[in-house]
Amino acid sequence: MPSFDIVSRIEMPEVDNAVQSAMREINTRYDFKGSASSIDRTDEVLQILADDELKLKQVQELLRGHMAKRKVDIGALDFNAPEKAFGNSIRQNVLVKQGIERELAQKIVKIIKGAKIKVQVSIQGDELRVTGKKRDHLQETMTLIKGAKIERPLQYVNFRD
């Protein structure tokens, strides 16, 4: 029976490359001269440190731009509220969201069931498995989900005939 998986994965080496190139630009730009602005990554959390609100906005824009250049979908970044750090500086955590959480998975299942396409959808941890009798039904399901306004970047992998 044909099937495919719906996943939400981010290439962490690409995130590392984007952070490193953004840091290189921060270190060479004149408006950041003498600034303590930086971006650090630990696991799936990026931490932005900036001197003030203006520099924080500039670092965010730099990060978004470099992520886009490295083809990392910006929809996977969750910017938390900025908080005060030592001195007058500002710290902001940015979560790199991977996987499909339960609420989003249920929303996708509801969209597919509402379209009355002859496929079965099962939630398997942080991914969805879609199976059907015909390949055309699976392709129709893919276009339906691509057309739905889902804020998370989704990939369609493991297509089997």
* Mean pLDDT to the nearest integer, 126-131: 88
Q: Exposed (0-12), middle (13-18) or buried (19+): which is 30, by Cβ within 10 Å?
A: exposed
State the Cα–Cα distance between residues 7 and 38, nearest whole angstrom.
31
| Residue 129: both structure tokens together | 């498995």
Whether residue 88 sits in one domain with residue 28: yes
State the Cα–Cα distance between residues 22 and 58, nearest whole angstrom.
11
Residue where a domain stops, chosen among 80, 96, 112: 96
Whether residue 122 sits in one domain with residue 87: no
Whether residue 107 sits in one domain with residue 89: no
- The pLDDT-based confidence of 32 (bands split at 50, 70, 90) is confident
Question: What pLDDT score was predicted for residue 21?
Answer: 92
* Helix extents (H) in 5-101: 12-28, 53-69
Range of the domain at 37: 12-96
How many domains, the chain?
A: 2
- List, for residues 102-122, the tens digit of each pLDDT value: 888 888 888 888 888 888 888
Average pLDDT of the chain to the nearest whole number: 87
* Mean pLDDT to the nearest integer, 13-35: 88
What is the CATH classification number for the domain harbouring 138?
3.30.70.860
Is the backbone of residue 76 left (phi > 0), alpha (psi -120 to 50) or beta? alpha
Whether residue 58 sits in one domain with residue 31: yes
CA proximity to 44, closest of 70, 20, 9, 71: 9
List of E strands, 67-154: 77-79, 83-84, 90-96, 119-124, 127-132
- Indicate if the pLDDT at residue 161 is higher than 80: no
Stated pTM of the model: 0.77
Whether residue 61 sits in one domain with residue 131: no
